[in-house]
Chain A
Amino acid sequence: DTAVSQTPKYLVTQMGNDKSIKCEQNLGHDTMYWYKQDSKKFLKIMFSYNNKELIINETVPNRFSPKSPDKAHLNLHINSLELGDSAVYFCASGTGGLGDGYTFGSGTRLTVV
């Protein structure tokens, strides 16, 4: 049973489109995150949700919007996609407690053409 699952694994779309990436965790964690990993492998945090409340938003354009229907799900919606949005997006979850590592999802490779 996959602990943190993301769909889709690959997403190719045209500029200007709107797309969503879904994330679900079955670990009972309270906190979920979205990270963007660019071609240089930098892992940059985008959002953090704790019990359905946004607690981090690291200067991400407002074209990106996280949606959390419940604490097991954190979806990422992206409007008006741009070429620079091409990257691998990782969902992760954690307990929110100090000393507990994240569990990452398998990633979604987004390519904007």
Chain B
Amino acid sequence: GENVEQHPSTLSVQEGDSAVIKCTYSDSASNYFPWYKQELGKRPQLIIDIRSNVGEKKDQRIAVTLNKTAKHFSLHITETQPEDSAVYFCAVVHTGNQFYFGTGTSLTVIP
């Protein structure tokens, strides 16, 4: 199966700073990479995703970059706000839609 590593496990940033979370994977056949945000006591929700034929995707303050050769992808959040505080999960997907989740990053944005 796929081995997904996510770092860091916890991250604290000052409001307005940037936050970066990185995931690495092992199977070069993986070709879809979504990111989920889980607020305290709530369900994980998809915030951004990227496919293997794209190197970068941006949606307002969040962006995802993918390096297929190195088998890693990263979530970038700029101008962080307190409401960005949550647990973020990366996922790696093979054909057949088997999702493998990272271990999560607890992000705290300090006002």
Contact = CB atoms under 8 A, between A and B. Distances in A.
B3 interface: no
Contact of A104 (B31, B45, B51): B45
Interface stretch (A12-20, A66-74, A79-87, A89-97): A89-97
A75 interface: no
Contacts of B43: 90, 104-107
A41 B36 CA distance: 13
Contacts of A44: 101
Interface residues of A, number: 25
A102 interface: yes
B103 interface: yes
Nearest to B46: A101
B89 interface: yes
Contacts of B104: 41-43
